Amino acid sequence: MGEFVHDGIIPRRTEPGFDKDAFRMRFDVGGRAFRPGTGRREPEDPLAAGREACCNITMRTLVLFLLLPGMALLTSAAGAGDADLPPCPSSPNCVSSRDPDPSRRVDPIPFRGTAEEAREALETVLRSLPRVTIVASSGSMVRAEFRSRLGFVDDVAFRIDEAAGVIHVRSASRTGYWDFGVNRRRVETIREAFVKFTETRRGGGPGNR
């Protein structure tokens, strides 16, 4: 803690017994002055208070700047493996096995075996379809983009529920309003191809399920 002596406060000529320390002003880190031995603080210095407030705001901003990217990464990592399918919008260009509305609902895709086996089979089926790109596959989630001949992109997401033995699916047009049944037909095509592939891999047929 430093000392500061105000110019002009301590006179050049002092009387006997005059205590110069009584006129010395000391400052704490907050910029507030006090007299030694009295414990009494002087009114707060506006400039020092402003500097302290500015410093506090800067430090808080820096901490948030450093922490937010890590929080975003943790959120993304959790969402990639455990997030549920988002709900369909009100527009008639989306279907989902999680939607309660019959006009937008499709049945989930059943499977036998582990979630890892189901994901591998699903990825194989998706790669066999035209103009499909798998954009993410981790944990229980698989996401793919379907591109039409005209360049329109539809987003399809799958969530594997190993306990229930089903793959929930959502297919939605990225743009536009009507889909003219394209998303529903796409889900049924994927379902048919998935069932056929898994039955062939097991060496069975529809009658041996």
**Under 8 Å between Cβ of 107 and 95:** no
Quote the crossing angle between the two packed helices 115-128 and 182-202, to the nearest 10°. 120
- Of 46, 79, 112, the residue that ends a domain is 79
Number of domains in the chain: 2
Are 30 and 64 contained in the same domain? Answer: yes
Inter-residue contact 205 to 199 (CB < 8 Å) = yes
Note the pLDDT of residue 57: 58
In a domain? residue 88: no
Residues ≥6 apart with Cβ < 8 Å to 89: 172
Mapped onto helix, strand or coil, the DSSP state of residue 86 is coil
| Confidence check: pLDDT of 56 > 50 | yes
Q: Do 69 and 105 have their domain in common?
A: no
- Please check whether residue 89 lies inside any domain of the structure: no
Going by pLDDT thresholds of 50, 70 and 90, the confidence category of residue 1 is very low
Q: Which two tokens stand for residue 149?
A: 């001949």
Short-list 139, 141, 140, 138, CA closest to 155: 141
Higher pLDDT, 72 or 9: 9
pTM over cut 0.75: no
The answer to whether 34 touches 40, Cβ cutoff 8 Å, is yes
DSSP string for 107-121 = PPEE--S-HHHHHHH
| Paired strand residues for 168 | 159
Q: How far apart are CA 49 and CA 56, in angstroms?
A: 11
Give the model's pLDDT for residue 111: 97
Supply the pLDDT for residue 8: 45
Return the pLDDT at 203: 76
Confidence of residue 15 (pLDDT cuts 50, 70, 90): low
**147 found inside a domain:** yes
pLDDT tens column, 134-193: 999 999 999 999 999 999 999 999 999 999 999 999 999 999 999 999 999 999 999 999
Q: Could you tell me whether strands 166-173 and 94-96 are parallel, antiparallel, or unpaired per DSSP bridges? A: antiparallel
Give the span between the Cα atoms of 161 and 54, in whole angstroms. Answer: 51
Provide the pLDDT for residue 174: 96
**Looking at the predicted structure, is the pLDDT value of residue 63 above 50?**
no
DSSP 118-155: HHHHHHHHHHHSTTEEEEEEETTEEEEEEE-TTS-EEE
**What's the mean pLDDT in 79-98?**
84
Kindly state whether residues 43 and 107 are assigned to the same domain.
no
Give percent above pLDDT 90 in the chain.
Answer: 56
Over range 106-116, report the average pLDDT: 97
What domain range includes position 183? 94-208
